[in-house]
Structures are given as C-alpha cells and as structure tokens.
Amino acid sequence: MDRASSNLVELRDLKVAFDGVQVLHGIDLNVGRGEAVGLVGESGCGKSVTWLAALGLLPGKASVTGSVRLDGQELAGGPREAFEQVRGGRIAMIFQDPSSSLNPVLRIGRQIVEALSLHRGLRGDPAKREALRLLDMVGIPDARRRFDLYPHEFSGGQCQRLMIAMALAGEPDLLIADEPTTALDATIQAQILDLLIQLRAETGMATVFISHDLGAVSQVCERVCVMYAGRIVEEGSVAELFSEPRHPYTRGLFDAIPRIDGPRQRLIPIPGTVPNPKHLPEGCSFQPRCFRAVEACRSERPVLDTSADGRQLACFRPVQANEPVEPRARVTEDMLL
C-alpha cells in the first residue's frame, strides 16, 4: 500500500455519463486526513454524483471512469467487494433525507447494533453498550429508554442525529455529508452543524460537506471546492475564497446571499440557470451567465490551474479584488419576479 501521500482520498479525472450524456467532466479532488472540505454549487452541478461515483453507488446505467484512491489503494475498476468494504466502514455517507438510511420497520437500537456487527464485529452487550454510547454522542437524550423505538417516533432533527450515529458505527475515516441540514428548520440546522464540528474534533475523521449554504460551509470546512456544470471551477481555503472570490461564478454565489454584516445591499442573483448537460455552451460553460465573459470565453474552455499566488482557478478573466459586478450582469426587475 502506498502511504507516501498525506491524502486520505484522491479522486483523479473522475468522469460520469448517463445514457451517453456526460455530467461529470474530470474531477480532481483530494481530501487530507482529518480535513473538512466543502463542495458548493447550484443544483445539478454534480456535487452528489461526484461522491456517489467515488463510492460506487451510482446505478448500473452510469458510465464511470477515472481513479478513486483511498490511502493510496485504487478502488475504481476493482471488485464490488472493495467498495462494499469501504462504504459504511472507512467512508460513511449521510444524506438530506434520513429515510434513505434508516429502515422504518426496524427499532433504532437494532439498526445501530447491526451496523456495529457488520463493520466492527461487535455483538451482544458490548454492541448495545457501544450503540448507547453513539446515541449519547450524537445528542439523543435518554438513549437507553429510546433504544427500542422506531424511526417515526423521533423528530426530523433527531432522525438526522440517528443517521449520523449509524454513520459513526463504522468509525469512518471520512464522513460525506450531502446537504445534511437542508430539510431542517434554522435552529435544528445550527445544532446539526455544531454536532458535525464537535464529532470531527472528537474523532479526527475527515469530512466532506456538500451544501448550497456558503455560511454553513464556512463554519464546518477549511477548504472549499466550487463546482459548475460538472467541473471544479475554483478551489481554495475558506479564508481565501470568502475574502476574495476570484471566479465570476463564486463571486455570483456570494452576491446572491444576504449579508448580516456591512451595509444593506440589494441581492444580485446570477442571471439564467445551470445549463442542461446535454447542451453545454461552447467554450466556458459559465459564459452565457458571466459578467466578465469576453470573446475567448465563447470558443475556448479554461482549465483548472494554479495561479501565481497558489489559488486554483478555471477562468480567463478572474474577478479582481473588490471589483463591483458590472452593470450588464445586474438583474433586471423582471428577472427578480
């Protein structure tokens, strides 16, 4: 096993097509041991498909190519068992909807005990003790009494906690959280984010946090990858990206969210929508929506490159520091309706 790399997971040139339509165009992404990486972008950009592909969870009709290494060991193209051993064990994934992970007809305690038996070989009293410890760890009050309840007897936020407890049963090195708080109200969202931060601090597991919510990403993550139309278009530390977004798309995402600090400003949504993967524009995929597009952007596609100051960016005309959005990208009243 090659352990020379400090990365826990390395995705290289990961591509996915459904029925001949390419939706992921070559993703290169590293996750370091214990690191928290955010993945942001509008709906349909390929955030979920990236990790479903990496874990071998896409349906058979999906064509997946590229390399997925865990601790230097290649998983892609290998036997199904290689993925199965890793999933739920060294890498766990939680989703927006807990019902996709919790079985509605099994008591919650039994589900966690089964996960402990599968991934850690625990049975009987030691398994029950560990399940109670996990329930306690994710903040389920009175876990001993609630051990034998069914999922529907818990609230939405508690179900999310139960799903996290199941994910922790395999003592994962990496937890992939795909929009884990989107369906919850704001107070519960904040609690689940706090829980993810606390668990990472306690266990040292790496986290991939997929979200539309840039605020949540900044709380949970150290590094962020911004995706657009099946590609990573900008990558950097949270501090860099939030203080000075360089890609016009990243800048657009920031301009479209309300600020709680600073003067009140009109929000500027990015005009238009994410293109259909079947009909991607020529050149840069973001070009029809971009306030900085020039002629070259319509014929050539920028590749993700490291700029002189070490930022990763795919753009011919990056945004300059404090540059206002140009008038032609400002939305008209009818776009706001």
Ligand X SMILES: Nc1ncnc2c1ncn2[C@@H]1O[C@H](COP(=O)(O)OP(=O)(O)OP(=O)(O)O)[C@@H](O)[C@H]1O
With a CB cutoff of 8 Å and minimum separation 6, the contacts of 131 are 109, 112, 113, 116, 147, 165, 169
CA atoms within 13 A on the CB side of 296: 6
- Nearest residue to the partner Mg ion, using Cβ: 48
Computed over its alpha carbons, how large is the radius of gyration of the chain?
A: 21
In the chain, where does DSSP find H-type helix?
47-54, 80-86, 108-120, 124-137, 143-146, 156-168, 186-203, 214-220, 238-243, 248-255, 295-299, 333-336
Number of residues counted as binding ligand SF4 (CB under 6 A): 13
Which tokens in the block code for residue 152? 């529907």
Tokens of 135: 């329930």
Binding track, positions 221-260, relative to ligand SF4; x by CB under 6 A: --------------------------xx------------
Among 128, 292, 311, 329, binds ligand SF4 (CB under 6 A): 292
* 312 in Cβ contact with 235 (< 8 Å): yes
Residue 287 contact among Mg ion, ligand X, ligand SF4, none, beta carbon within 5 to 8 Å by kind: ligand SF4
Q: Are residues 274 and 285 in contact, defined by beta-carbon separation less than 8 angstroms?
A: no
In angstroms, give the least distance from the CB of 282 to ligand SF4: 11
Least spacing, CB of residue 56 vs ligand X, in Å: 14
Give the tokens for residue 161.
């906690």
Binding mask 274-293 for ligand X (x = CB under 6 A): ---x----------------
Residue 206 identity = A
- By CB under 6 A, which span of 43-51, 78-86, 120-128, 282-290 interacts with ligand X? 43-51
Q: How many residues bind ligand X (CB under 6 A)?
A: 12
Stretch that binds ligand SF4, among 3-11, 77-85, 264-272, 280-288 (CB under 6 A): 280-288
Our finding on whether 172 is near ligand X (CB under 6 A) is no
Decide: is 211 part of the binding site for Mg ion (CB under 5 A).
no
Return the number of the residue (248 or 275) whose C-beta is nearest ligand X: 275
- Decide: 313 and 247 in contact? Cβ < 8 Å: yes
Q: Which of 26, 31, 44, 48 binds Mg ion (CB under 5 A)?
A: 48
Map residues 51-80 to x or -, x wherever contact with ligand X holds by CB under 6 A: --------x---------------------
Strands 206-210 and 7-18: unpaired
- In whole angstroms, give the CA distance from residue 186 to residue 257: 16
Q: Which residues lie near ligand X (CB under 6 A)?
A: 18, 23, 41, 43-49, 59, 277
Q: Which residues lie near ligand SF4 (CB under 6 A)?
A: 247-248, 284, 286-287, 290, 292-293, 297, 302, 315-317
Q: Which residues lie near Mg ion (CB under 5 A)?
A: 48
